[in-house]
Amino acid sequence: MTGVPHPRYEVVIGLEVHAQLRTRSKLFSPAPVTYGAEPNHSVHPVCLALPGVLPVLNGHAVELAIRVALASQCHVHPQSIFARKNYFYPDLPKGYQISQYEEPLATGGWLDVRMPDGNGGERKRVRLHRIHMEEDAGKSIHDAAVAGDATHVDLNRAGVALLEIVSEPDLRSPAEAAAYLRALRSLLRYVDASDADMERGNFRCDANISLRRHGESRLGTRTELKNLNSFRFVEAALEAEIRRQASLLDAGEKVVQATLQFDPASGRTRVLRLKENADDYRYFPDPDLVPLVLSDAQIERVRKTLPEQADARCERFQRQQGLPEEDARLLCESRALADFFEAAAKRHGDAETLVNWIRRDVLHALGEHGIEIEASRLTPEALADLVERVRQGGVTAQSARALIPELVLSGGDPLRLIQERGLEAVSDTGELEAAVDAVLREHAGHVERLRAGEEKVRNFLIGQVMKRTGGKADPAALRRVLAQRLGEGGS
């Protein structure tokens, strides 16, 4: 809730996200980028930091970084510098990380985020401080079960391209933080820059949080929470840290600058490292690289490849397809979903009906099975065909809707399925008449009551005919035949 999460203190949160860029090779090394490979199966002399190797910048990584910067309204700097961040760690083979320091790729920018329960539908602008490129480190495994009394080092991930996105401390609650992360994730996927999948570790978040009295303009001492690897953890960790800091301040103590880790089992944050001695990374421009110089023409070229922005598309759906805003927004939450809808709408003009099916059946099925639209085997064309067949009366809506989960999971041609399984709507008058007659005979008592004026009995009789026809009776035809058999005029 963007409402006040703490009565006595204002919460100030800034987030630092590291997102892995979707490149096939690493940022400065030509080694392949893999997931789940055997240790040290995706390495090359450059990312092993062998004597004599040199870095060469991946052009595609630059393009993806520029896309993200443009999509978030940042200023892309015509010149930026790669700098070395020097420290020792076994999964940092060179003893320094190539990153950007004083002159990053982009600064400024913002995301307009829809906050939960807040602002009455207005979005909150969360400003970005900077975006820059850097290499990832490898993995150090300390797990005693795997490594015993030692640490095992796997360099597959060393050198993979990362984008670091730093927000201004504009967030005011854990819920806002989570909303911002979702919006950022959406943006990264929208421009195809990153898979941004927290479970797979390619979207990592560190949070900086401080408290201050309401109305105070100076920032309180902030602490850093690291290694938050799911949205749930982010909120829980921040809530825990708010409690910890608040109780310190309530007791008149000071918050000490530190790095903390969240322990989900206890629901508490604990200090990993005090920040008294700030790390001395000795940043300096990497002399093995030249400045990254980008011309206006290059940046414009990237701008043209950007997919239509979510907001513009949402607006267009409302304008062109006549969709209500809420429906348009739902579709535009994900580029893949918006693409799906548009493809279906191309084939079947009734946008609103399609949206209903998407919301009620397709998304429901996806949710049930925990998969995203990108993984759905139901094609937009298949949905369009199915919707049309229902409209024509060739199949009942009920039968058609029942097919959706299967189509989503396994794919298939719905029209063929209808035929194979004999799901065609029964609208053949002869068959219907036979079914109606049988029901009227069996439930003579209900027929009496209907004739006496109890209208609600009609639905019971309709239901019985449906049952008898295995749900395949076309409802409109059924009503007609029933009325006719009852001797009701007109209809």
Partner 1 sequence: MSATLREDVERVAALARLAMSEEELSRMARELEAVLGYVASLAKVDTRDVPPTAHVVPLVTPLRDDVPAPPMDPGLALSNAPESDGSSFVVPKVIEAEEEG
Partner 2 sequence: MPAPLGSLRECREALDQGRTSSAALVEQSLARAEAHAHLSAFVRLRAERARAEAQEADRRRAQGEVRSPLDGIPLAVKDNLVRAGEETTCASRILEGFVSPYTSGVLERIEAAGAISIGSTNMDEFAMGSSTEHSVYGPSRNPWDPARTPGGSSGGSAAAVAAGIVPMALGSDTGGSIRQPAGFCGVVGVKPTYGRVSRWGLVAFASSLDQVGAFARSAEDAAHVLDAIAGHDPRDSTSIPEPAPSCAAALDGDVAGLVVGLPREYYAADGIEPGVLDAVREACAQLERAGAKLREVSLPHSEHAVATYYLIATAEASSNLARYDGVRYGHRAQGAHSLSEMYERTRSEGFGAEVKRRILLGTYVLSAGYYDAYYRKAQQVRTLIRRDFEQAFRGCDVIATPTMPETAFRLGERTEDPLRMYLSDVYTVSANLAGLPGVSLPCGFSEGMPVGLQLLAPPLEEARLLRVADAYQRHTAHHLARPPEPA
Question: Which residues of this protein are in contact with partner 1, per CB under 8 A?
Answer: 23-25, 30-33, 38-45, 48, 56-62, 81, 87-90, 92, 140-142, 147, 149-155, 226, 259, 272-273, 279-280, 282, 285, 287, 290-293
Total length of the chain:
491
What minimum distance in Å lies between the beta carbon of 279 and partner 2?
Answer: 9
Residue closer to partner 1 (CB basis): 8 or 273: 273
How far is C-alpha 33 from the chain's CA centre?
A: 22
Which of 1, 4, 41, 95 binds partner 2 (CB under 8 A)? It is 95
Enumerate residues 6+ apart whose C-beta is below 8 A from 480: 491
- For residues 143 and 459, give the distance between their C-alpha atoms in angstroms, rounded to a whole number: 65
Q: Which does 54 bind (CB under 5 to 8 A by kind): partner 2, partner 1, none?
A: partner 2
DSSP secondary structure of 234-271: HHHHHHHHHHHHHHHHHTTPPPPPEEEEEETTTTEEEE
What minimum distance in Å lies between the beta carbon of 294 and partner 1?
Answer: 8
Please, which of residues 70-89 interact with partner 2 by CB under 8 A?
A: 84, 86, 88
**7 makes contact with partner 2 (CB under 8 A):** no
- Residues in contact with partner 2, counted by CB under 8 A, come to a total of 30
Which of 7, 36, 38, 54 binds partner 2 (CB under 8 A)? It is 54
Instruction: Phi first, then psi: give them for residue 55, nearest 5 degrees.
Output: -90, 145
Which of 7, 36, 51, 215 binds partner 2 (CB under 8 A)? It is 51
What minimum distance in Å lies between the beta carbon of 273 and partner 1?
Answer: 7
Which of 290, 293, 312, 476 binds partner 2 (CB under 8 A)? It is 290
Element (H, E) at 164: strand 161-167
| 168 and 14 Cβ atoms separated by less than 8 Å | yes
Helix (H, G, I), strand (E, B) or coil at 46: coil
**261 makes contact with partner 2 (CB under 8 A):** no
Helix (H, G, I), strand (E, B) or coil at 111: strand
Enumerate residues 6+ apart whose C-beta is below 8 A from 425: 393, 394, 395, 396, 399, 472, 473, 474, 477
Which of 115, 153, 160, 249 binds partner 2 (CB under 8 A)? It is 153
- For residues 357 and 352, give the distance between their C-alpha atoms in angstroms, rounded to a whole number: 9
Residue 453 — left, alpha, or beta (φ > 0 → left; ψ -120 to 50 → alpha)?
A: left
**96 makes contact with partner 2 (CB under 8 A):** yes
**273 makes contact with partner 2 (CB under 8 A):** no
Cα dist from 64 to 58, 59, 71, 241, 491, whole Å: 10, 9, 11, 34, 62
Q: Which does 336 bind (CB under 5 to 8 A by kind): partner 1, partner 2, none?
A: none
**141 makes contact with partner 2 (CB under 8 A):** no
**56 makes contact with partner 2 (CB under 8 A):** yes
**55 makes contact with partner 2 (CB under 8 A):** yes
| 173 and 27 Cβ atoms separated by less than 8 Å | no
Q: Which does 152 bind (CB under 5 to 8 A by kind): partner 2, partner 1, none?
A: partner 1
Residue closer to partner 1 (CB basis): 25 or 376: 25
What minimum distance in Å lies between the beta carbon of 254 and partner 2?
Answer: 24
What minimum distance in Å lies between the beta carbon of 94 and partner 2?
Answer: 5
Q: Which does 108 bind (CB under 5 to 8 A by kind): partner 1, partner 2, none?
A: none
Q: Which does 60 bind (CB under 5 to 8 A by kind): partner 2, partner 1, none?
A: partner 1
**159 makes contact with partner 2 (CB under 8 A):** no
| 446 and 457 Cβ atoms separated by less than 8 Å | yes
Residue closer to partner 1 (CB basis): 28 or 357: 28
Cα dist from 202 to 26, 195, 218, 270, 449, whole Å: 14, 7, 34, 25, 66
- Residues at the contact surface with partner 2, assessed by CB under 8 A: 45, 48-57, 84, 86, 88, 90, 93-96, 151, 153, 278, 280, 282-284, 287-290
